[in-house]
Amino acid sequence: MLSPDEARAVLRWKFTAYDRQRADELSAKARSGQLTVAEEHELDEYLAIESALITLKSKARRTLESTGLS
């Protein structure tokens, strides 16, 4: 279980502007069927990290809710 301070720190985590832009570019290329194999792997990594962040942030919110600090 996360401490309240750790939970708040997790909730501040986000992609940089560069990473958001790059993921958007890769997603657009994927929709148009123009991704290279390397780009597909890169996009998969962004998506995996995003999924992990969603899970961690959910746990962080639950931690703060359970301690009455949300």
Close Cβ partners of 22 (under 8 Å, ≥ 6 residues apart):
42, 46
**Domain locations along the chain:** 4-66
What tokens does 34 get? 């123009």
Q: What is the pLDDT of residue 58?
A: 96
Q: What is the pLDDT of residue 69?
A: 67
Distance CA(21)–CA(32), nearest Å, equals 17
- pTM of the model as a whole: 0.83
Across the chain, which has 70 residues, the per-10-residue mean pLDDT values are 92 96 98 97 98 96 85
